[in-house]
Amino acid sequence: MRKSLAVGRKELRQIWRDRRTLVIVLFVPVFLLVLYGYALNFDIRDIALGVQDRDGSVESRALVSAFVRSGYFKFVSRLDGEGEIEQLMDRGTLRAALVIPEQYGERFRTGHAASVQVIVNGDNASTGATIVGYVTRIVREAAAGVTRSPLAVPVRVEPRIWYNPELRSTLFLVPGLIAFIAMIVGVTSTALSIVREKETGTMEQVRMAPIGSVSFVIGKTIPYLFLSFASSIFIVFMSMALFDLPMRGSWWALVAAIVLFLAGALGTGLLISTIAETQLIAFMMGLLLTFLPTFILSGFIFPISSMPWALQVITLAVPARYFLVVLRGIVLKGATLPALATPILALVIYAVIVLGLASIRLARRHG
């Protein structure tokens, strides 16, 4: 027993000196608990809603107020026509649009059947179906509140699902899988390749050559950029063949978006390689920085608007968040690059930052 206690004390001292093990054992479980506990939320709130009120009656305004009071919808814009709805949905500004027709209030007051139309962005199949359910319930409850009878509901909802009329879940999941796979491949390939050179000692031989850090970063990135790009395009074609993924936009726009996203992914891998000393640590860091954020915090599965404010701020640093908007916009909506200028700019900024940090760290380590 005394010998076992001695071994245990020695191991505790060794663990205390190995701060990386302490971080993995103590910090990672808490991090995962907080991340999954708050991000895994199937309730959808703060749905961006636009309203086209062609009636302007007391009843129509009461219906709009019912949507805002529900807590599920956030009023963002008054709409003039279908063209504006399409433009805002392409940009990702709207998730749903409520269209109240003329004579809505008059028909409601006289007890005749009235109808309202809801146009839903269907690029996210699960969210689209949930929104239709929310709208139906809110309209029914609002009508029952006015008529004071749950049976007398003279209002019906006419849903229109854009971009994915059948609400096929594959059209929502496949673009997310493309981003997920491309991010992991890009990050791990570059991170492991440089750390492997560190372990074998060839890294120092390469760095003794008369070459600057920026040139070194570019030289290490270009081959993996081509390989990752070929892999991503292959995944896109396979998705079209196996899952009937449509292509409604420009192929050149898709190529530009993939290259930008991969540049940021490869830069992340290079940055990891300047920190990690072994391939195991590099692999673990790559998974921690790519697997979890891309899967949980990008809007791949769970809507960002339903997350707590603190997590929404963290998602601003997740490149897959912007790539998913661009990818779904091009493939499902046929959106142009100018309509996707904001997420494209975010991808450019991310790529410049991580590639710049990788160059600076390499210069300091081998200056």
Q: Kindly report, residue by residue over 255-290, the tens digit of the pLDDT.
A: 999 999 988 888 888 888 878 777 777 777 877 777
Q: Global pTM?
A: 0.72
Check pLDDT > 50 for residue 228: yes
The better pLDDT of the pair 251, 362 is held by: 251
As a whole number, mean pLDDT of residues 139-166 equals 68
Range list for CATH 3.40.1710.10 in the chain: 47-162
**Does residue 44 contact residue 125 with C-beta atoms inside 8 Å?**
no
Evaluated on CA atoms 347, 352, 355, 361, the torsion sign reads negative
Higher pLDDT, 37 or 343: 343
Across 225-261, b (16+ Cβ under 10 Å) vs e yields beebbebbbebbeebeeeeebeeebeeebbebbbebb
Give the CATH class of 47-162. Answer: alpha beta
Residue 337 token pair: 């690059």
350 pLDDT exceeds 90?
A: yes
Euclidean distance between CA atoms 205 and 209, whole angstroms: 7
pLDDT confidence bin for 25, thresholds 50/70/90: low
Q: Which residues, 6+ apart, have CB-to-CB distance to 163 below 8 Å? A: 89, 121, 122, 123, 332, 333
Instruction: Give 49-92 pLDDT, tens digit per residue.
Output: 888 888 888 888 888 888 888 888 888 888 877 778 888 888 77
